[in-house]
Copies of this chain bind each other. A is one copy, B any other.
Amino acid sequence: MKQKPSLPRGTRDYTPAMMLRRNYIIAHIKEVFEKFGFLPLETPAMENLSVLMGKYGEEGDQLLYKILNQGDFLKDIQPEHLQKGSKLFALQIAEKGLRYDLTVPFARFVVMNQNDLAFPFKRYQIQPVWRGDAPQKGRYREFYQCDADVVGTNSLICEAEIILMMHEVLGKRLGIQGFEIKINHRKILAGIAESIGAEGKESDLCVAIDKLDKIGKTKVEQELLQRGFSEQNIQDLQPIFSVPEKNEEKIAFLEKFLQKSSVGLEGVADLKQIFEYVRHFDNQTDFPVSVDITLARGLSYYTGAIFEVKVKNSAVGSISGGGRYDNLTGTFGLQGMAGVGFSFGLDRIYDVLEEQNLFPAQTQSTTQILFTNFDKESEKFVFPLLKKLRDEGYKAEIYPQSTKLDKQFKYADKKQIPFVIAIGSEEIKNSEVAIKDMRTGEQKRISLANLLNFLKETLQ
């Protein structure tokens, strides 16, 4: 039976060219996480649906991929069960699902291993997740998340270190230009709502204010009225529409605006402490951090600082984000497990590096040197040399068959191998090699004795 193979909608292969670039990003993220004391964790792709359901809202439950029970899953099913509809019927024949994010599996892990872990527990996790969302450009049904969390502490050192890690990965290592770390605090949002007499309504407030740049002040005020805010609320809110630019002035402004809201002042104090910590760590670097009181992500779980990183003048959305929560594991019966976490958006960072042309040359190819294959005689001469180069740490291969040279050079070209070494009877006789730089087209002969030196100078 022949068939034309295909991929499920919304999924994709990571080709070697993509993998080399992804691995480059991941290697830097991992190195930085580990330098800051985070330990790697991996959880299974399949989780019990009892662990996953109800954690992501009604919509999330629908988007979960459910796995059919093995064996005779219809055993206890009667025709009338079909009447229940797909949603309920699914739970009769599927006990497991694919993980939807890395946070719920992490919470499950912490609860199941609470007696063995060293708290505060710092873990990172880089794995794919699956969501049955409608696929669209840039949105896949399988995608990677790169999370790091510290749980079991309220220390704001963790928040400061998140800023350091974002800066080291995105700026110092990957070289991204114009990225901005935005920070806000859930308590500041609550304080603003309280201060204008609309306590507890920070979610509605944020949704409206967030549109300020897009729709303008008048329309934001209209929306606030529609959302049940009073004229008085809106009048009291006026200063918020003209917050100063600079962090210090913004914080001074907030201290004044929030003076009657103790929760609001707590939020401001936290931000001040975080900034102070960052300065203690590194007084030299001008960290691109700015307080943004319209930043409001994850309001259903974040209770402290909130982070988001965006790149100026880029079509790519936020490339990193996170925040502090005070109850990671309550749903699994373990209370008071506070922590703070963040994640890097691998696919979006990839897009930014493409946009800014920042992938280094070594992410274009793995093989550095291809030996052409003339005949059995030349193989004998090439093999020990090939071994020697590999032992020196070079990535090198021989074209496995003696075929037209043209074809062999095309192979090098397609694989973007920078150097091709040809050794025929002439070269063997003279103990030399003919080497071609595929990037410049330049070709020369080098004595065997000089080859290692030449490669060292050119490739390292």
Which positions in A face B, CB cutoff 8 Å?
Answer: 1-8, 11-16, 19-20, 23, 34-48, 50-51, 54, 62-63, 65-68, 70-75, 77, 79, 82, 85-86, 89-90, 93-96, 98, 107-109, 111-113, 117-120, 122-123, 128, 130, 132, 141-142, 150, 153-155, 157-158, 164, 277, 280-283, 331-333, 366-367, 370, 379-380, 383-384, 386-387, 390, 393-401, 410-411, 414-415
Contact = CB atoms under 8 A, between A and B. Distances in A.
Contacts of A82: 74, 77, 79, 82
Q: Which 8 pairs, one residue from A and one from B, show the smallest C-beta to C-beta distance? A: A37-B397, A155-B400, A16-B39, A118-B414, A79-B79, A11-B44, A19-B40, A2-B333
Contacts of A130: 45-46
Identical copies of this chain, number: 2
Nearest to A111: B5
B128 A45 contact: yes
Given A130-B45, A397-B37, A96 B8 contact: yes
B19 A41 contact: yes
Nearest to A150: B400
Contacts of A277: 379, 383
A71 to B, nearest CB: 7
A68 B89 CA distance: 11
Contact of A155 (B47, B98, B401): B401
A414 B71 CA distance: 42
A399 B74 CA distance: 53
Contacts of A128: 45
B98 A400 contact: no
A366 B70 CA distance: 39
Given A20-B40, A40-B366, 5 more contacts: A6-B48, A36-B395, A37-B396, A65-B67, A157-B379
Contacts of A6: 48, 50-51, 112
Contacts of A43: 13-14
17 contacts: A5-B51, A5-B108, A6-B51, A7-B48, A11-B46, A23-B40, A34-B367, A35-B390, A35-B395, A46-B141, A66-B67, A68-B90, A75-B86, A79-B82, A118-B410, A155-B400, A281-B383
A401 B153 contact: yes
A190 to B, nearest CB: 24
Contacts of A62: 70
Contact of A41 (B14, B36, B96, B394): B14
A98 B38 CA distance: 30
B46 A367 contact: no
A2 B108 CA distance: 12
Nearest to A118: B414
A416 B71 CA distance: 44
A2 B67 contact: no
Given A1-B331, A2-B332, A72 B86 contact: yes
A34 B19 CA distance: 12
A311 to B, nearest CB: 25
Contacts of A397: 36-37, 122
B34 A70 contact: no
Contacts of A42: 13-14, 19
